[in-house]
Chains A and B, each alone.
Chain A
């Protein structure tokens, strides 16, 4: 255990602080086309100072520094303090870039990583299909070789930001006769290719919250063969790298949410008395605070493992399961504290915090299911973490 900051880190902190006081970020730098100029400008400035893409090599458009856990913590603390996101929380930077760094060709890294980190290209992820939920390897979208291209046909679902994305990293079946996990390829597909149709998917969270999901229909879409990442037929292995990054990027800021929840309980009154004065609500808050603290420090332990290159073992496999459930449970307390008003929707007159807690409740339920359901996570923990035997394979139909 060494959690001390030495003096050089104080300098680093002042440097970050000074940067943030001198440079005002754009009001929004989300994923839409209108936000592109401000987004690219801001992210480029962050990369130049090493606050974003810090460990991405220079030749691929990053800052090219070695990993430093303390500096990461300091940057996060300072950006949180002024309420500015440190970079772009999107699937391109968090999932595709690490995958390309591990499996991409030199040409692919040079071409895609820089523009992705600068926010010039927005990506979506084409994994899920209507017929293959947890059994992702049963996916059916086909890609047939034709000269220098593959021709793609099929349907994807749960494709968030497909409506804003220029590119999609997609899993397709290139060898229809191969066994389930074999014969899948990982392809980079431009979203303006002819034959792509995008339909918004209505979810239980409706217009509340900011996350859009889509269905993507592919009819004879041509993608160059050069856009296959890794070897043809090895897509499953490559996708698993990406999923690992997705699960660790689902590390919610539980402590921040807890503070927000405590504030709500001090403000919200029932019969003129703040909810915080109720021993019942307060006890629930304290239970959640203990869980939020465990996940905060567990996150620091995981970060240490990853920076030292040590395997986190079973301790690493449980993060997604626990964080998603904790988020849902914090939202649940907030909704109970708001009582009848917690059911208000669609920005009704007495709505609190623009529906933040209603949205969090439904969105975190979505996260418990997405990225591998809680039940699939438990199987992974039991089999890969504890070494319990696999379930016997069902007899062939």
Chain B
């Protein structure tokens, strides 16, 4: 038994971190804030060349066929860099659903996703939170209705849309496809859209796909938790570095107990969460019976401590932390947006209670 990361794991994490620090520094993220969509295809192509587009795609289908733990470490590095990319939808969720659902259409798309040539967004919010009466229905083969907060949709080639907990469809995003409008959120580093389906013909509809949808949500939640963890890490690192150089009252602020305790409280929350994340991601491939509960808990927990760490680390910087110039807000807002992207903490804990028979099943 060995509870920890292997050399290969560490290599993935460190090499991606190094690549992002050099090629997508925060100045580049700031530039992308002005773009129509932050999911710049040149960043994604570079990540695809490094093998991250196909991290979960089987080896025979142009992917690297790695584990969800490997993928989660990549998500963590992307969160650490506040890097815009369609990794959550196209790297994690869509390939998980397609691989689980199977079939020749799914295989062909997996091939394209693995090479990075095909980018796929996901519209799944209505599975756990219906706002503004959103929802997608299928009538006479065509899709009607709308989906809110679709992930990584506006610069994508294909969109996976959940119709209900047992059915999902895949549609093209070309001229004959749905109307996709990017919704500007606080988080300039992630793409979320409203999608309106006015009788769109799907490329394929997967029925009896409850298991595929469940696995897609589990993988997405674990990867999103990893993204939040990476963002928290980055914020703590910046706070500790600042506390070691900033002087007030003739002393380094890091020598004041009040500042010290803010920093220790943040790291005391983060380190055990990292252990839970490793175990949850490992369970996805090795002990899938345990994953439904763990995926709910790990994302709800990271959402809670993430909000606290985002707030405290900004406070360590004092007023300058609140300015646009200091950049900290890119992470603060990425964490804030992630909190509700795949189910808010109350919903996830309710799911966790249901899974254990503590609450009546819906």
Contact status B300-A290, CB under 8 Å: yes
**Chain B 3-25, CB within 8 Å of chain A: the 1/0 string?**
11110010000000000000000
B334 at interface by CB-CB < 8 Å: no
**Chain A 2-24, CB within 8 Å of chain B: the 1/0 string?**
11110000000000000000000
A383 at interface by CB-CB < 8 Å: yes
B75 at interface by CB-CB < 8 Å: no
| CB of A75 to closest CB in B, whole Å | 13
B297 at interface by CB-CB < 8 Å: yes
* Stretch from A281-289, A338-346, A355-363 contacting the other chain: A281-289
B340 at interface by CB-CB < 8 Å: no
Contact status B282-A388, CB under 8 Å: no
A301 at interface by CB-CB < 8 Å: yes
Task: Provide the residues of chain A in CB contact with B1, threshold 8 Å.
Answer: 2-5, 69-70, 73, 304
Given contacts A297-B3, A301-B3, A301-B278, contact A286 B272 (CB under 8 A): no
Contact status A298-B271, CB under 8 Å: yes
* Stretch from A52-60, A216-224, A373-381 contacting the other chain: A373-381
**Chain B 27-68, CB within 8 Å of chain A: the 1/0 string?**
000000000000000000000000000000000000000000
| CB of B321 to closest CB in A, whole Å | 17
Return the contact of A283 from the options B269, B297, B346 (Cβ within 8 A).
B346
Q: Which of B95-137 contact A (CB under 8 A)?
A: none
User: Once bound together, how far apart are the Cα atoms of A321 and B257, in whole Å?
Assistant: 16
Could you list some 20 contacts between A and B, CB below 8 A?
A266-B358, A283-B349, A283-B353, A286-B353, A290-B298, A291-B272, A293-B276, A294-B275, A294-B276, A297-B3, A297-B275, A300-B275, A314-B267, A318-B264, A321-B268, A381-B267, A388-B240, A388-B243, A389-B255, A390-B255
Q: Which of B220-277 contact A (CB under 8 A)?
A: 240, 243-244, 251-252, 254-257, 259-261, 263-265, 267-269, 271-276
Contact status A298-B275, CB under 8 Å: yes
What size tier do the contact residues of chain B reach?
Answer: 35 or more
User: Once bound together, how far apart are the Cα atoms of A386 and B271, in whole Å?
Assistant: 13
B214 at interface by CB-CB < 8 Å: no
Task: Provide the residues of chain A in CB contact with B259, threshold 8 Å.
Answer: 388
Q: Which of B295-318 contact A (CB under 8 A)?
A: 297-298, 300-301, 304
Contact status A285-B260, CB under 8 Å: no
B2 at interface by CB-CB < 8 Å: yes
Question: Top 10 A-B pairs ranked by shortest CB distance?
Answer: A382-B260, A286-B349, A381-B264, A294-B272, A388-B254, A298-B275, A290-B301, A298-B272, A378-B264, A318-B268
**Chain A 272-315, CB within 8 Å of chain B: the 1/0 string?**
00001001001101110111011101101101110000000011
A322 at interface by CB-CB < 8 Å: yes
Contact status B257-A3, CB under 8 Å: no
Task: Provide the residues of chain A in CB contact with B274, threshold 8 Å.
Answer: 315
B286 at interface by CB-CB < 8 Å: yes
User: Once bound together, how far apart are the Cα atoms of A139 and B267, in whole Å?
Assistant: 31
| CB of A312 to closest CB in B, whole Å | 9
Contact status A318-B267, CB under 8 Å: yes
Given contacts A294-B276, A318-B268, A322-B268, contact A389 B3 (CB under 8 A): no
Return the contact of A389 from the options B9, B254, B261, B300 (Cβ within 8 A).
B254
Task: Provide the residues of chain B in CB contact with A176, threshold 8 Å.
Answer: none
Contact status A387-B271, CB under 8 Å: no
A294-B301, A297-B275 provided; 9 other pairs, C-beta below 8 A?
A282-B358, A290-B300, A297-B272, A318-B268, A321-B268, A378-B261, A386-B267, A388-B240, A388-B259
Task: Provide the residues of chain B in CB contact with A83, threshold 8 Å.
Answer: none
Contact status A282-B267, CB under 8 Å: no
User: Once bound together, how far apart are the Cα atoms of A1 and B287, in whole Å?
Assistant: 12
A391 at interface by CB-CB < 8 Å: yes
Contact status B4-A388, CB under 8 Å: no
User: Once bound together, how far apart are the Cα atoms of A361 and B1, in whole Å?
Assistant: 35
**Interface residues contributed by chain A, number (CB under 8 Å):** 51
A385 at interface by CB-CB < 8 Å: yes
Contact status B297-A290, CB under 8 Å: yes
| CB of A283 to closest CB in B, whole Å | 5
Interface residues of B (CB under 8 A from A): 1-6, 9, 69, 240, 243-244, 251-252, 254-257, 259-261, 263-265, 267-269, 271-276, 278-279, 282, 286-287, 294, 297-298, 300-301, 304, 346, 349-350, 352-353, 356, 358-359
- Give A391's nearest chain B residue, CB to CB: B255
Task: Provide the residues of chain A in CB contact with B276, threshold 8 Å.
Answer: 290, 293-294, 297-298
- Give A377's nearest chain B residue, CB to CB: B264
Return the contact of B3 from the options A285, A303, A381 (Cβ within 8 A).
A303
- Give A304's nearest chain B residue, CB to CB: B3
Contact status A375-B261, CB under 8 Å: yes
Contact status B268-A297, CB under 8 Å: no
Task: Provide the residues of chain A in CB contact with B6, threshold 8 Å.
Answer: 1
User: Once bound together, how far apart are the Cα atoms of A303 and B252, in whole Å?
Assistant: 36
A256 at interface by CB-CB < 8 Å: no
| CB of A378 to closest CB in B, whole Å | 4
Task: Provide the residues of chain A in CB contact with B272, threshold 8 Å.
Answer: 291, 294-295, 297-298, 318, 322
Return the contact of B260 from the options A295, A297, A378 (Cβ within 8 A).
A378
- Give B346's nearest chain A residue, CB to CB: A283
Return the contact of B2 from the options A2, A287, A381 (Cβ within 8 A).
A2
| CB of A196 to closest CB in B, whole Å | 38
User: Once bound together, how far apart are the Cα atoms of A237 and B268, in whole Å?
Assistant: 25
| CB of A361 to closest CB in B, whole Å | 21
User: Once bound together, how far apart are the Cα atoms of A111 and B282, in whole Å?
Assistant: 46
Contact status B275-A301, CB under 8 Å: yes
User: Once bound together, how far apart are the Cα atoms of A344 and B229, in whole Å?
Assistant: 42
User: Once bound together, how far apart are the Cα atoms of A5 and B286, in whole Å?
Assistant: 12
| CB of A134 to closest CB in B, whole Å | 12
